[in-house]
Amino acid sequence: MSSVLIVDDEPNIRRMVGALLTSEGYEVRDAAEGAVGLARVGESCPDVVLLDLMIPGELDGLQTLARLREMVPDVPVIMMSGKAGLSDAVQATKLGAFNFLEKPLSPEGILLALGSALELRRVRREARTLREDLGLAGEMIGDSQEMARVRELIGRVAPTDARVLVTGESGTGKELVASAIHFGSTRKDRPFVRVNCAAIPRDLVESEMFGHEKGAFTGATDRRIGRFEMAHTGTLFLDEVGDLGLEAQAKLLRAIEAREIERVGGGKTIRVDVRIVSATNRDLRRCVVEGSFREDLLFRLNVIPIEIPPLRDRPGDIPALVAHFAEVQRSRTGRRPPQFTAGAVAALVRYRWPGNVRELANIVERLGILHAGADVDESMVLGVLPVESGPRPGGAAPSPSSAPHESLTDTLDEHERTLIVHALSAAGGNVAEASRRLKTDRANLYRRMRRLDIPVGDE
């Protein structure tokens, strides 16, 4: 149940708004003064605050807003007033107010504003959880020269507002880099909003990015705030930006250049102040040559490029990453993590990690579940690592004379099984991602998995 704090000196407002929200399933508390409202927040943090601009007492509405931003920067604050001028609204926005409602209030306006504010609250919570999960102190793990260069570049870029394009193979930690850029910037207390461009249906990209008005299209039963508005004054992370279609690229380019958007079905221009950080595992320059990505958009996004090295190019970081992921699992489950023997760590270092850090995290979690509190040795590691196809560095391919005498069909099936299992492991079990790696469609991959008796798990 979401909680709302109403701070207003008018008893009728507190009573009527409180009754409305209670009937809608919200947990409601109220206060008649700013100082009392802050005390309520100290007792129990609400999900949203409805704050009157013209409250009497020691702290007025704007002063209370400023204190709230210091105490609970992730909690959206919706201002209310019947006498506010333009300067008041501008000042409230600068102080971080999420929305501004004019009195007399309407039930529809209150509920729409609350719905949007709760969506923002959810995004901010996800961002905070992301910071906690990605590192015990929000740091990037690894002492290799490659990672030292990445950290040094992040340190130079983060305090600026420059747009950044993060590139690297899937699973290398591009979202971690984007998060580090945001939380190292002056926008760190503002929203960090992630958009997975590969997961948005093409006909919904504009609505997802810019929002829509009620009735804008079939199924638009309510107003929706887009990701650009959610990220206002903060950072918008466009993950897998190379998967956007050309039409969506054109609209994104206009929004970046004009720094303003329009909701679908709305005629009002909305100014937005967002920092853009993008990421992709595609070669966008090659995509430009092939005609699948706009060159002018690439120029806008690629002001500062940061390339994340694959894990196989920094094997010296693997022991520290193993210890880190084991500790993350301990903090999540409360169980003592397994102890990795020297042989187990050596086996992990030898593996090529096509799924990079994400695959390593999955393997460590799997071993932690299977061998909680025990010592993990080399045989246990080899038991969960996929069989690699092709020779390892420094190794030789089997000679024809040493190859087993099997039928061509059995040999091809085994090779196909190995490739599919390898791709699934690298994709963390996500069939859609595995199909992209294998350059086939999901339906075909599902058919092959069933034919080869490969378990079909959830995406």
Query: Tens digits of per-residue pLDDT, 158-171?
Result: 999 999 999 999 88
Average pLDDT score over residue span 222-227: 80
> Do residue 294 and residue 193 come from a single domain?
yes
Query: What percentage of the chain reaches a pLDDT higher than 90?
Result: 39
> Do residue 305 and residue 326 come from a single domain?
no
Is residue 125 domain-resident? Answer: no
Higher pLDDT, 349 or 404: 349
pLDDT at 20: 94
CATH of the domain at 111: 3.40.50.2300
Q: What is the mean pLDDT of the chain?
A: 84
Quote the CA–CA distance of 144 and 136 in Å, as a whole number.
Answer: 19
pLDDT at 177: 92
Place of tokens 């945001």: 182
Quote the CA–CA distance of 278 and 302 in Å, as a whole number.
Answer: 8
Query: What percentage of the chain reaches a pLDDT higher than 70?
Result: 89
Q: Convert 113-139 to b/e letters by CB count within 10 Å (16 or more is b).
A: bbbbbbebbebbeebeebbeebeeeee
Query: Tens digits of per-residue pLDDT, 328-386?
Result: 877 777 777 788 999 999 999 999 999 999 899 999 989 988 887 788 999 999 988 88
CATH of the domain at 420: 1.10.8.60
Is residue 128 domain-resident? Answer: no
Is residue 394 domain-resident? Answer: no
Higher pLDDT, 454 or 254: 254
Query: Tens digits of per-residue pLDDT, 199-221?
Result: 888 778 888 888 888 777 766 66
Average pLDDT score over residue span 96-106: 88
Identify the CA nearest to 116 among candidates 229, 252, 214. 229
pLDDT at 131: 53
Please state, in angstroms and as integers, the Cα–Cα distance from residue 316 to each residue in 108, 143, 214, 345, 382, following that order: 57, 8, 54, 11, 19
**Angle 107-134/11-23 helices, nearest 10 degrees?**
70
> Do residue 320 and residue 438 come from a single domain?
yes
pLDDT at 135: 44
Identify the CA nearest to 352 among candidates 306, 307, 375, 318. 318
Higher pLDDT, 194 or 390: 194
Higher pLDDT, 216 or 394: 216
> Do residue 255 and residue 329 come from a single domain?
no
pLDDT band for position 393 (50/70/90)? very low
> Do residue 107 and residue 139 come from a single domain?
no
pLDDT at 192: 87
pLDDT at 189: 80
Range of the domain at 326: 313-388+406-451
CB 176 within 8 A of CB 325: no
Query: Tens digits of per-residue pLDDT, 281-311?
Result: 999 999 999 999 999 999 999 999 999 999 9
Average pLDDT score over residue span 438-448: 82
> Do residue 190 and residue 244 come from a single domain?
yes
pLDDT band for position 422 (50/70/90)? confident
Is residue 444 domain-resident? Answer: yes
pLDDT at 293: 94
Is residue 18 domain-resident? Answer: yes
pLDDT band for position 155 (50/70/90)? very high
Last residue of a domain, one of 245, 279, 309: 309
Which two structure tokens, joined as six digits, stand for 338?
């397994």
> Do residue 148 and residue 231 come from a single domain?
yes
Last residue of a domain, one of 259, 279, 309: 309
pLDDT at 454: 82
Question: In sequence order, what are the beta bridge partners of 339?
Answer: 375
Is residue 319 domain-resident? Answer: yes
pLDDT at 403 over 50: no
Query: Tens digits of per-residue pLDDT, 257-274?
Result: 999 988 888 778 888 899
Higher pLDDT, 257 or 418: 257
> Do residue 14 and residue 79 come from a single domain?
yes
**Helix (H, G, I), strand (E, B), or coil: what is residue 35?**
helix
> Do residue 162 and residue 301 come from a single domain?
yes
pLDDT at 57 over 60: yes
pLDDT at 405 over 60: no
Is residue 237 domain-resident? Answer: yes
Is residue 400 domain-resident? Answer: no
pLDDT at 391 over 60: no
Element (H, E) at 304: strand 304-307
Higher pLDDT, 201 or 187: 187
Quote the CA–CA distance of 380 and 400 in Å, as a whole number.
Answer: 31
Which two structure tokens, joined as six digits, stand for 209?
């990015």
pLDDT at 408: 60
pLDDT at 262: 86
Tally of domains in the chain: 3
Last residue of a domain, one of 78, 95, 120: 120
Quote the CA–CA distance of 182 and 188 in Å, as a whole number.
Answer: 6
Return phi, psi of residue 340, to 5°: -95, 125
> Do residue 174 and residue 192 come from a single domain?
yes
> Do residue 157 and residue 305 come from a single domain?
yes
> Do residue 36 and residue 95 come from a single domain?
yes
CATH of the domain at 159: 3.40.50.300
pTM score above 0.75: no
Identify the CA nearest to 435 among candidates 426, 425, 445. 445
